Chains A and B, each alone.
Chain A
Amino acid sequence: AQTVTQSQPEMSVQEAETVTLSCTYDTSESDYYLFWYKQPPSRQMILVIRQEAYKQQNATENRFSVNFQKAAKSFSLKISDSQLGDAAMYFCAYRVSSWGKLQFGAGTQVVVTP
């Protein structure tokens, strides 16, 4: 069975600074997809970034980037130049196929201080 682990319940960062959220996963599959979702207080789930396991290049989306280590089964998210609007719960998620279910970690609460 696949599992997704986020070991940091909460991370605090100052505005304009950088924070890195960790995620590890367990799978026997060689081809899969990894995601980071953001859930602000509104509870709306928002896709932040996606990584295909067959791609060696780490995905980036503006201030968000990932460090994907396939052998270590690690998928961390880096938020650069943090903004107050980045404050939210961040969930790491795994999917084994193009259309299958998402498996989520427990989440990391990001607190941004002025």
Chain B
Amino acid sequence: NAGVMQNPRHLVRRRGQEARLRCSPMKGHSHVYWYRQLPEEGLKFMVYLQKENIIDESGMPKERFSAEFPKEGPSILRIQQVVRGDSAAYFCASSQTGTGIYEQYFGPGTRLTVT
């Protein structure tokens, strides 16, 4: 069973461009979480999605950031008009659905650099 996949692993964007980060959850997982890790800091929650639904977006910046998890295909985190402060590692995690306690399994992250 393949783990959580994220691509690209590294992404360089100039200020003002758009960044699209992709996350394919583990097989059988229907919950996806996005976290951001700024340099020398812990991970900060951004958004929690299920298929076609945003469940919790309390950590998402109000502007320029959006996320989706369509019925088919990977989850996408989209950052419009990137700024230097968006440079960070973005991690995706997935978990199962059902009853019980389900671990979040993390992908390897996408390192975004804004020049």
Residues of A within 8 A of B56 (CB): 100-101
Judge whether B42 and A91 touch: CB under 8 Å. yes
Q: Confirm or deny: B71 has a beta carbon within 8 angstroms of a beta carbon on chain A.
A: no
Interface size on B, residues (CB 8 A): 26
Residues of B within 8 A of A44 (CB): 106, 108-109
**Given known A-B contacts A43-B108, A98-B102, A99-B102, A106 and B91 have beta carbons under 8 A apart:** no
Give the complex CA separation of A45 and B3 in angstroms.
12
Give the complex CA separation of A44 and B105 in angstroms.
10
Q: Confirm or deny: B89 has a beta carbon within 8 angstroms of a beta carbon on chain A.
A: yes
Choose from B58, B101, B106 the contact partner of A52 (Cβ within 8 Å). Answer: B101
Within the complex, the shortest CB–CB distance from B96 to chain A, in Å, comes to 9
Q: Confirm or deny: A64 has a beta carbon within 8 angstroms of a beta carbon on chain B.
A: no
**B interface residues (Cβ-Cβ under 8 A, vs A):** 31, 33, 35, 41-45, 48, 56, 58-59, 89, 91, 93, 95, 97, 100-106, 108-109
**A interface residues (Cβ-Cβ under 8 A, vs B):** 33, 37, 42-47, 50, 52, 91, 98-107
